[in-house]
Structure 1
Amino acid sequence: MPGPIRALAALALCGTLVACVSACARSTVGRKTAVYIAVASPSPSTPAERQRLARTRFATNAGLAAGATDRWIVRPSKAGAFKKGRRGRTAALVRAHLAGTYAYHRLEAARRDSRGDPRLSKALAPLGPGIDALGSLPARLRKGDASAVKSFDDMVTKVRDTGRRAGTPVRKQHPTARQLAAG
C-alpha cells in the first residue's frame, strides 16, 4: 500500500506545481520582470589607476568617433555619394546622419572621460565649444551640406592630435552599422 500512496502523492504534488507555474505565467504576461543581482564591480582603487582608465576610455571613444567619421562620412563624401542624382544617395545620407550623431556622442563621452586625467582635461578644454557645435551637424549632413563633412573631419582630427600630444594616442576604430544604429 505505501507504494501507490507515494505515487498518488507525487502525482498530486506535480499537478499542483504545474498549476502554480501556469497561473504565475499567465499573471506575468505583458509585464517585464527585472532581476537585479548585487555584484561588486571592479573599480580602480588608486588615483593612478583611475587616471589610466580615463585615458583608455578617452582613446576608445575618440577612436570610435574618428572611425565613424572616416568610414561613413568622409569616404562617401570624397566618392561623391552625397551628390544629387547619385544612386544610393539617400542611403549614404542616412548612414552619414547616423554616423554624425554617433561621432558626436562618442566625442562627448571622450570629453567626459578626459576629466579623469589632468593633462587630457587641460588639453581638451579649448575644444569643448567645437565639440558642442557638432551637435547640429548631423542635420546639416542629412541636408547634404558639404561644409559639415569638413567640420566633422577637422574636429575629430583636432581631438586625435590633442590626445596624442597629451600622451594618449588615438587609433581609428570603425564601428559597424549596428553600433551606429544603437547609438
Structure 2
Amino acid sequence: MPQPVPVRRLLLALTLTCALLVGATACGGSDDDTATASATPSPTGSAEKQKFAKTRFVANAGLAAGATYQWIVKPWRAGTFKKGADGRRTALIKAGLAGAFTYNRLKAARKNAEGDPTLAKAVAPLTAGIDALKDLPAKLRKGDSADAAAGSFDDIINKVKEAGKSAGAEVTDKVPSPSELSGG
C-alpha cells in the first residue's frame, strides 16, 4: 500500500507545477491570438478593431472564469482540497493547471481590454487580479491554505466579470476542454 504524501510535499509539488506552467506560458506561450491573427485578415476600421477586442475579451475572460469555476471553485466548495478528502491530490493538480490557464487567459483579456476604450474600466481589475495570481505560489509555499487560494481565484473572477458587465461586455463561464487546459 502506498504511503500518503505529506501535505507540505503536495503543496510544494503543486507550487512547482504552477511556477513551471506560468514560466513556460510567459516564455513560449502566446497570451493572445497573434498566431491566428496573422493568418486572418485584419480589420480596417477602428469600429471593427473595437468590436474584435471586446469579443476577444469576452472569450478570454469566459475561458478563465470557466476553468476557475470547474477546477478550482467547485472542488473547493465540495471540500475536496481538505486534508484527507478523496481525490485531493488529483484535484490540487487540476487546480494548479487551471490556475496557470486562468493566469494566461486573464493576461490576454487585459491586452484585449486595453484595445477598446469602453473596456478601459476592466483593465484595473484585470491588472490587480493578475498580480494577485502571480503571488499565489509564494503564499502556498509559506503554508497558506488551498482554501484561501481558491477563494482568491473566485473573488478575482467575480471582479473581472463585474468590470466586463459594466463596460457592456458580459462575461459568461466557458469551461475549456482538458486538452485546452493542459496546452495540448
d(CA) in 2 for partners of 1:100 and 1:126? 20
The Cα of 1:86 is off from its aligned counterpart by 1.4
2:68 aligned with 1:76: no
- Taking structure 1 as the reference length, what is the TM-score of the superposition? 0.73
Name the counterpart of 1:113: 112
Name the counterpart of 1:124: 122
d(CA) in 2 for partners of 1:79 and 1:141? 20
Give the 3 Å change call, closer, same or farther, for CA 139–75 of structure 1 in structure 2: farther
* SS across alignment from 2:179: helix
The Cα of 1:135 is off from its aligned counterpart by 1.7
Give the 3 Å change call, closer, same or farther, for CA 85–139 of structure 1 in structure 2: farther
Rg comparison, structure with higher value: 1
The Cα of 1:177 is off from its aligned counterpart by 1.5
Residues 90-109 of structure 1: matches in 2 within 5 Å? Answer: 90-109=89-108
Residues 12-161 of structure 1: matches in 2 within 5 Å? Answer: 41-121=40-120, 123-127=121-125, 128-137=127-136, 140=139, 144-161=145-162
The Cα of 1:168 is off from its aligned counterpart by 0.7
Structure 2: runs of 5+ lacking an equivalent = 1-37
Give the 3 Å change call, closer, same or farther, for CA 47–165 of structure 1 in structure 2: same
Q: Is the 8 A contact 1:160 1:170 kept in 2?
A: yes
Give the 3 Å change call, closer, same or farther, for CA 72–139 of structure 1 in structure 2: farther
C-alpha distance after superposition, 1:88-114 (max 9, x if no partner): 111000000110111111111100011
Over the aligned positions, Cα root-mean-square deviation in angstroms equals: 2.0
d(CA) in 1 for partners of 2:74 and 2:101? 16
d(CA) in 1 for partners of 2:90 and 2:39? 44
* SS across alignment from 2:130: helix
d(CA) in 1 for partners of 2:39 and 2:86? 52
The Cα of 1:132 is off from its aligned counterpart by 1.7
- Taking structure 2 as the reference length, what is the TM-score of the superposition? 0.72
Taking only the aligned residue pairs, the percentage that are identical comes to 50
Give the 3 Å change call, closer, same or farther, for CA 40–91 of structure 1 in structure 2: closer
* SS across alignment from 2:182: helix
